[in-house]
Structure 1
Amino acid sequence: MSFQEEWGQIRSEAATRTRLNSASGGDADRLVVYQEDLGRVGHEAFLLHGRLKKAGDIARGAAGEGSTAKAATTLSSHNFTLGQALTTMSGIWEDQIKTLLQSCAHISNHLDFSKKSHTREDKEIAATMSHRDGSAMTASEITQYYR
């Protein structure tokens, strides 16, 4: 029996014993993640980080449109209570932007790391799961590792 035949038989037996728990009723194709997908999502998080950092900087004035901190100071110096409210709002905004920036950076870094890590692990597994002549192990040979 070839590897493909043996593997197909084991998969069909497992499918009859296993039921995936998902909202869609067990659509196994939805559980697949490809390396290039991880890279794309990580890259998009990196791009979002850059755009958010530039557009979210209202305290110093995004795109040179003025300074929120300067406006708050000026309003406060003229005894407008709006100045203090603007200072408070600006501080809260900056804290929230920092949190979002950290999240984008975390997602980007984690997915980049995951992509590299999975590639390295796949190569290690491929190297250990083959015979000296380079041929693939059969499913029954692989099963011996789990007994």
Structure 2
Amino acid sequence: MELKENDDYTEDSQSEDNYDIEIYSKRAIWGFSIFFSTIFGGVLLMSNLRSAGYRKEANLVLLFSLLYTFIGSLLTAYIGMQASIAAIVFNGIGAAILTEYFFNKYFPESDYYPKSIMKPLAISLAICLIIVYFVYAYAPKGILPVK
């Protein structure tokens, strides 16, 4: 959807045009936030907002997801919680904020076409595989529980 640059453009015409855009579904954002990280879900929601013409809000969502993930990591280290449990807890809370607050605020009705998640899924898996490779390849010996 292209935003019109004239004085006749109103929020009403934008909500009518939202049906013409393809965006990632709430479920996709939830899944990426839980299984990968709140940053991944935030990037999908940012893409949705940009497609709908909410550029400023898209940047705020990305900033939120980055800060939230960073603060969650700091809290995990400070509390001393097991990393896998902390990831599930913090990613779940982040997913809820992204979907129940931000997504519902800008896309309150389900009048959009769901976008395929295959491309972001491939990118996310590639990023995770690269990170895992570097962690195992370059971690000091004795730190990782691998024989």
TM range (shorter): under 0.3
TM superposition score normalised by structure 1 = 0.27
